[in-house]
Chains A and B, each alone.
Chain A
Amino acid sequence: MKISIIITLKKDVLDPQGKVIHQTLGGMGYENIKEIRQGKYLEIDIQENDQKKAEEKVEEMCKKLLANLVIENYKIIESQ
């Protein structure tokens, strides 16, 4: 199975990179942006045909290494 996940900073954590991207886009004339938050995207190709089992394993990986739950949230966005 191929599991896709995104990792984003929690709402109340400052995202200076997102802010700079926002400012730059503003400078290019895109003035109606409310906010930009930058995140990470990962694809994990796992040798497991059972979707539920594969997603459980990936969740475990997120909790143990891929995301830092003090500042980040993770979300499985696609399993195929």
Chain B
Amino acid sequence: MNSSVITFPGSNCDRDMNVALKKFGFKNKMIWHDDLELPKSDLVVLPGGFSYGDYLRCGSMASKSKIMKSVLNFAKGGGNVIGICNGFQILVEAGLLPGVLLRNKYLEFICKNIFVKVNNKDNLFFKGIKKETLEFHIAHNEGNYFCSKEQSKEIDDNDQIALLYSDKAGNVNENTNPNGSIRNIAGIFNKERNILGMMPHPERMIDPALSGVDGSIFFENLINNLK
């Protein structure tokens, strides 16, 4: 399976993602934002970080960078795309996912392990995952998911909610919402569910010595579903 990770100026989770993808069997290539063409890929990943210093709005500049034309074509043609953290912000700014990520409700940068409930397994990214909740890491200042009422209805109608902030048992409520996201949304799909945006970092959970292993479950499952 071939994957591509896009590096923007200010990306800082691109190399972690490279390590994670390779560990679970992807042949990964690192692609520079100024390149025009994507290599042949089964998966494209927009990594976390602070692309373009978060100027104007997080992800807004990166969403207009040169490589994004190819990423847009790839995604609109049904190609599989994941955006993690800043990558999620880039996907919403590019119009590939509905909504927007606002400043965290209590204005603090949040860096901690959290649990997410997998809300929809009828897709390439989570099909086959047996656990109901996964432990990932979040590290963000703008992860407060927001969308218009019309978008919220559309997200429901098409079952586009991927992940919800929860506790270990899968309870979703105000106490398990770290950043003020509407309805505890931690990740969403596009309508066709070939594009996934999520704030939590699975690539930081691939080694028990460092953190946890639920990222391993995610990547192992993903490459199996792609085969």
Interface centre among A65, A66, A70, by most chain B C-beta atoms within 10 angstroms, is: A70
| A–B Cβ pairs within 8 angstroms, 28 of them | A13-B102, A13-B146, A14-B102, A14-B144, A14-B146, A14-B180, A16-B103, A16-B105, A16-B106, A16-B107, A17-B103, A17-B107, A20-B107, A65-B56, A65-B60, A65-B64, A66-B56, A68-B60, A68-B93, A70-B99, A70-B100, A70-B146, A70-B147, A70-B148, A70-B151, A71-B100, A71-B102, A71-B146
CB neighbours (8 Å) of B57 from chain A are: 68
The total of chain A residues at the interface (CB under 8 A) is: 10
Instruction: Give residues 9-61 of A contacting B (CB, 8 Å).
Output: 13-14, 16-17, 20
Among residues of B, the one whose C-beta sits closest to the C-beta of A72 is B57
Q: How far apart are the CA atoms of A36 and B62 in the complex, in Å?
A: 30
Check if A14 sits within 8 Å of B151, measured CB to CB: no
Chain B residues close to A by CB (< 8 Å):
56-57, 60, 64, 93, 99-100, 102-107, 144, 146-148, 151, 180
Expressed in whole angstroms, the Cα–Cα distance for A10 and B151 within the complex equals 16
Give the chain A neighbours of B107 by CB distance below 8 A: 16-17, 20
A68-80 CB mask vs B (1 if < 8 Å, else 0) is 1011000000000
User: Shortest beta-carbon distance, A22 to chain B, in Å?
Assistant: 13
Q: In the complex, A68→B93 CA distance in Å?
A: 8
Q: How far is the CA of A20 from the CA of B100 in the complex (A)?
A: 22
> Which 5 A-B pairs have CB atoms at the shortest separation, nearest pair first?
A70-B100, A16-B107, A71-B100, A68-B100, A16-B103
Q: How far is the CB of A80 from chain B (nearest CB, A)?
A: 24
Chain B residues with Cβ below 8 Å from A70 are 99-100, 146-148, 151
Chain A residue at smallest Cβ distance from B106? A16
Residues of chain A within 8 A (CB-CB) of B93 are 68
Bound state CA distance, A16 and B106, in angstroms? 7
Q: Across the two chains, which residue of chain A brings its CB closest to B103?
A: A16
Which residue of B has the minimal Cβ distance to A9? B102
Which of B60, B102, B104, B106 has the most CB atoms of chain A within a 10 A radius of its CB?
Answer: B102
The docked-state distance in angstroms from the alpha carbon of A16 to that of B103 is 8
Q: Which of A14, A20, A66 is packed against the most chain B CB atoms within 10 Å?
A: A14
Could you say which residues of chain B place their CB within 8 Å of the CB of A17? 103, 107
Cα–Cα distance between A70 and B57 once the two chains are bound (Å) = 13
Minimum C-beta distance from A77 to chain B (A): 18
How long is the Cα–Cα vector from A35 to B70 in the complex, in angstroms?
44
- Which residues of B have CB within 8 Å of A66? 56
